[in-house]
Structure 1
Amino acid sequence: MDRKFVITGLGYAIVGLLLGIYMASTKNHSQLVTHAHIMLIGFVVSFIYGVCHKLWLPSVSKALANVQFYVHQVGTFFVLVCLYFLYAGAVSESILGPILGVSSILVLAAMILMKIMIIKSTKNAI
């Protein structure tokens, strides 16, 4: 699972950097919020999850790890796509708001699952 998170995180980093370079070259920073979310929940959080899986979760339940991975990826993907369309002015907030809300809850759920896995995995180590 660590490899999946790191590879996915690096993919988000490439997309985020490309968006940042585009904004800098066009001097149009309207997607700054999208860029920040790509880099933070896409790259940084995914990468940290990969490190957590490598260091503390090598024997965690594969089913739970997969659920956590896909919940995070689905939530993150929809947050980023919705933010892009919102800040591009392509789709109204009344349509994107509920999708952003559910997607954000998915990202939160993935974080809660990560905490549960860490607690279960390290409870005897302390």
Structure 2
Amino acid sequence: MDRKFLLTAFGYGLLGLLLGIYMAATKNHGQLVAHAHIMLLGFVVSFIYAAVYKVWQIDGASAMAKVQYYAHQVGTVFLLLGLFLMYGRYAPANVVGPMLGVASMVVLLGFVLMKVMLIKALRSGAAPQE
């Protein structure tokens, strides 16, 4: 799972950088919120998850790990899409709002599952791998 998160992290990083370059080139920074979420939630959090899976040797083949991965990815994609639509003025906030709420809860689920798996790993005596 560490490799999946690492690859998706860099995919989000590329997308975020492209959006940032586009905003700079057009001098239109209306997508600043979407850009920040792509970089932080997409790139940084996914990268941290990759590191946690690798360093603490969390079983990436477990059912919980799979749910955690897909919860983070699905929630993040819909959250980013909603923010892009709202801040790009392609859809009003009252239409996109419910999607953002559900997507945020799905991302939260992924975060909670990561914490549960990390606690289990630490309780089982898993030490960081060097």
TM-score scaled by structure 2?
0.93
Q: What 5-or-longer segments of structure 1 have no aligned partner?
A: none
Residue 57 of structure 1: CA displacement?
A: 3.2
1:49 counterpart residue number: 49
CA contact under 8 A between 2:58 and 2:118: conserved in structure 1? no
- Report matched runs for 1:56-95 at 5 Å: 56-59=56-59, 62-95=62-95
Q: Which moved more, 1:57-66 or 1:27-36?
A: 57-66
> Structure 1 counterpart of 2:7, which letter?
I
- Report matched runs for 1:1-126 at 5 Å: 1-59=1-59, 62-125=62-125
Q: What 5-or-longer segments of structure 2 have no aligned partner?
A: none
Aligned residues: 126
Higher helix share: 1
Give RMSD over aligned pairs: 1.3
Residues 1-54 of structure 1: CA deviation (Å, up to 9, x unaligned): 000000001000000000000001111000000000000000000010001001
Moved over 6 A (4+): none
CA contact under 8 A between 1:57 and 1:117: conserved in structure 2? no
Q: Quick one: distance in 1 between partners of 2:123 and 2:88?
A: 46
Residues 43-71 of structure 1: CA deviation (Å, up to 9, x unaligned): 00001000100111343662111000000
Residue 94 of structure 1: CA displacement?
A: 1.0
Q: Quick one: distance in 2 between partners of 1:60 and 1:121?
A: 12
TM-score scaled by structure 1?
0.96
